[in-house]
Amino acid sequence: MTATLAPATATQARPRATSAIVIGSGIGGLALGIRLQAMGIATTIVEKLDAPGGRAYVRRENGYTFDMGPTVLTVPHIIEELFALERGEPKLNEPDFPAHVLDGKRITTGISGGPKTSEYVTIVPVKPFYRINFDDGSWYDYDGDPANTRAQISAIAPEDLAGYDRFHDAAERIFTRGFLGLGYTYFGDLLTMLKIVPDLVRLGAMQPLYRFVSRFVKSEKLRAVLSFESLLVGGNPMHVPAIYAMIHFVEKTWGVHFALGGTGALVRGFVRKFEELGGTIRYESEVAKIDVEKTTGKPRARGVTLASGETLRADLVASNGDYAGTYSLIEKRYRKIHPDLRLKLAKQSMSVVVIYFGFRADPKADKELRHHNIILGPRYAGLLADIFDRHVLAPDFSQYLHVPTLTDPSMAPAGHHAAYTLIPVPHNASGIDWSVAGPKLVEKVIAMLDERGHIANLRDRLTTSSFITPTYFEQTLNSRLGNAFGLEPIFVQSAFFRPHNRSEDIAGLYLVGANTQPGGGTPAVMMSAKMTARVIAADVARLARSQR
């Protein structure tokens, strides 16, 4: 069966692109769908799963609501920008960081986002941003407040205070140039990239993040505190360039936020916005092939064929899926820049095991729990090498424990907490049999949380639990080697070297989301949607001019 979204054939010249298919309803796919609808391009999102969100899918069990993936929201004005779009108002040429955003360098209090956001979802700031627990039982609360930050550093390593001040200034310079200045730059050609290299070298932003941090502070605890954040976007602090020091500053500048009801509530808001603008989403519609035609010139995307055999036609196709997954949907003969070898050699980010669990609340026992808890194991560099370089499952582990019910009790039955804990593990190049290793790791992690008192008596209080392993990312989310965050954000896979938002192989094919520029994490995938919308707008205008 063929469903025609907009009749488009090689012979039938159209004045301008009027229809689009977006493969995948991750946050990047939804953000692009909203932008395309605002541009007047009739957009259908086709999603493999039965509900939206991709990594931000929601799991509901026994009265508990579990966000399966992203929980830390930063840069709320990017969310507001999407909800504020109206049909015919693509707003692609307005400043990316308007004056009120730059002026508002204070951490917001109360309700975050803006007036349009609050029509769809309520977003609130969370403090501290993270409690980082060290293996010796001490901790560091990061909340962006300068006085509190100094007090925390003094408690851990007073000799590093001056070094922290210098780190802070260096990170601010990287943030100003790398995020405010270049965040939305589309590196479609090598020259654009080469032009910024001198700046990056001058700022020290090209050396590995951990080495950069170590120049300023001596305490291993502080080095972990100031470098772990790249793990939130799948990057090993030992490998990723120090440009990622900007995350520290992004959080300090605009705070860390949470959507009441969970990130799933934000996703539902985006779906509503997209549908209000006239867009359509089709679930349980896995794309098996991106259809490409070649008459003269470059091969051109004409639509997609679903796993069911149904074909959908459109003027342009954008993929929100995995990098290797996307290009594998295209016949090899059309892929000169992205052949199978390149897909195979691309370095994938780590994977994760995530345990979703509910437990009876005990306010006295739980008083040291925070909404976002990083629980570091005994090793930092060694554990990262096991995960990223040696691809082995280490006997020790670090974890990120999320307890959203400390902010929004409605996500669990009364008197209970909903939580998840995320354990970074190697991707599937490891050859680990997760059907055997998964349950054992889960048991170990639950026992550790209980015995070390992070959640005292957890085993007695546990009411529900389930987990995912790299198998979920590989088989359910079609992510190569079960990567949890897309391509690893190392220098040779960043900016110009990251897959381009406009495919170099196929005309009318675009990428959006964590695997394309600028990279992973929820703000970045929303930024990628704007960058992709911009190249689409430029291509549509060029096509219209050529047909006049």
Ligand X SMILES: Cc1cc2nc3c(=O)[nH]c(=O)nc-3n(C[C@H](O)[C@H](O)[C@H](O)COP(=O)(O)OP(=O)(O)OC[C@H]3O[C@@H](n4cnc5c(N)ncnc54)[C@H](O)[C@@H]3O)c2cc1C
Could you list the residues that contact ligand X (CB under 6 A)? 23-29, 46-49, 54-56, 69-72, 232, 286-287, 320-321, 325, 352, 354, 422, 477-478, 484-485, 513-514, 520-522, 525
* Residue 82 or 157 with smaller CB distance to ligand X: 82
CB of 189 to ligand X, least distance (A): 24
Widest Cα–Cα separation across the chain: 73
Minimum CB–partner distance for residue 152 and ligand X (Å):
22
3-state secondary structure string, 325-379?
Answer: HHHCCCCHHHCCCCCHHHHHHCCECCEEEEEEEEEECCCCCCCCCCCEEEECCCC
Q: Which of 542, 537, 547 is nearest to 38 (CA)?
A: 537
Q: Where are the alpha helices (DSSP H) in 404-521?
A: 434-451, 458-461, 470-471
Query: 68 — phi, psi (to 5°)?
Result: -80, -25
C-alpha–C-alpha distance, residues 248 and 67, integer Å = 24
Give the SS3 label for residue 411. helix
Between 153 and 225, CB nearer to ligand X: 225
**Distance in angstroms (rounded) separating the CA atoms of residues 272 and 262:** 16
Q: How far is the CB of 470 from ligand X (least distance, A)?
A: 11
C-alpha–C-alpha distance, residues 313 and 7, integer Å:
7
**Least spacing, CB of residue 516 vs ligand X, in Å:** 8
Amino acid of residue 60: R
CB 403 within 8 A of CB 419: yes
DSSP 8-state assignment for residue 407: T
Nearest distance from residue 203's CB to ligand X, in Å? 23
Question: In whole angstroms, what is the distance from residue 495 CA to residue 180 CA?
Answer: 15
Cβ nearer to ligand X, comparing 214 with 320: 320
What is the closest distance, in whole angstroms, from the C-beta atom of residue 10 to ligand X in the complex? 24
* Complex with ligand X: residue 207 or 465, whichever CB lies closer: 465
Whichever of 203 and 355 has its CB closer to ligand X, that residue is 355
Find out whether 261 and 408 touch, Cβ atoms under 8 Å.
Answer: yes
In this complex, which beta carbon is closest to ligand X, that of residue 335 or of residue 461? 335
Smallest distance, ligand X to C-beta of residue 360, A? 25
**Residue 79: helix, strand or coil by DSSP?**
helix
Between 25 and 230, name the residue whose CB sits nearer to ligand X.
25
Number of neighbours of residue 198 by Cβ within 10 angstroms: 9
d(CA 345, CA 323): 12
Cα-flanking dihedrals φ and ψ of residue 65, to 5°? -115, 120
CB of 29 to ligand X, least distance (A): 5
**Cα-to-chain-centroid distance, residue 31:** 13
Q: Which is nearer to ligand X, 412 or 525 (CB)?
A: 525
Minimum separation from the CB atom of position 46 to ligand X (A): 5
Judged by beta carbon, residue 242 or residue 477, the one nearer ligand X is 477
Whichever of 59 and 211 has its CB closer to ligand X, that residue is: 59
* Dist. CA 304–CA 289, nearest whole Å: 6
DSSP 417: E
Q: How far is the CB of 256 from ligand X (least distance, A)?
A: 9
Q: At 121, give phi and psi (nearest 5°).
A: -160, 150
Pick 214 or 528: Cβ nearer ligand X = 528
Task: Work out how close the CB of 390 gets to ligand X at its nearest, in angstroms, rounded to a whole number.
Answer: 22
Between 203 and 247, CB nearer to ligand X: 247
- Please give the Cα distance from 446 to 429 (Å, whole number): 26
Strand partners for 124: 258
C-alpha 93/C-alpha 95 separation (Å) is 7
Helix (H) or strand (E) holding 468: strand 462-468
Helix, strand, coil fractions of the chain, as percent rounded to 5: 40, 20, 40
Token pair 């109206």 in the structure block, residue? 86
Q: Least distance (Å) from ligand X to the CB of residue 341? A: 21
Judged by beta carbon, residue 214 or residue 478, the one nearer ligand X is 478
Q: Which residues of 238-253 are buried (b: 16+ CB within 10 A; e: fewer)?
A: bbbbbbbbbbbbbbbb
Q: How far is the CB of 85 from ligand X (least distance, A)?
A: 17
